[in-house]
Amino acid sequence: MIIKILLIAAAIGVAVLLLQEKVPGQREASRRAAGLLLVVVGIVAVLWPQLTTTVANAVGVGRGTDLVLYLFVMVFAYSALVTAQRIHRLQHDITVLTRELALSRPTQPRGGEASLPPGGSRAGEPTTREQS
């Protein structure tokens, strides 16, 4: 009984985190709804574990735990793929922005060639009067 309480509390925690996200947009709303549906299905599976076996037998899987594992693997694979695509897209965006920023700034010489101190020479170099 304690494990059911802990699992339901964890599922409710996930639901709260899903609802607290501040990202607007239709795509995020559908992702949020799918997440909440998954939380509800998880709570139902915790409260009535024999239901997962019934559903598993209906779709041709022997045990409910096997069905849950298969679904978990598929959700994880989908999540990993979406995350990898998002990272790739962000890397591309950063590259484009860096190029645009580099092209928008005027070029500045490296090594200090452009700016000399007020005497007209660098430290340690003789001035024209000292050379004569």
pLDDT digits (tens, 9 = 90+) for 5-42: 999 999 999 999 988 877 666 677 888 888 899 999 99
The verdict on residue 119 lying in a domain is: no
The verdict on residue 127 lying in a domain is: no
Residue-range definition of the domain harbouring residue 36? 2-103
Q: Strand, helix or coil at 56?
A: helix
pLDDT in tens, 90-111: 999 999 999 999 998 877 667 6
Indicate the pTM of the whole model: 0.63
Instruction: Quote the longest CA-to-CA distance of the chain.
Output: 102
Give the total number of structural domains in the chain.
1
The verdict on residue 8 lying in a domain is: yes
H or E, element range at 91: helix 64-104
List the one residue out of 88, 13, 23 whose CA is nearest residue 5: 13
The verdict on residue 96 lying in a domain is: yes
List the one residue out of 50, 64, 45 whose CA is nearest residue 3: 45
The verdict on residue 11 lying in a domain is: yes
The verdict on residue 132 lying in a domain is: no
Distance CA 30, CA 88 (A): 23
Residue with tokens 């996930």: 14
The verdict on residue 50 lying in a domain is: yes
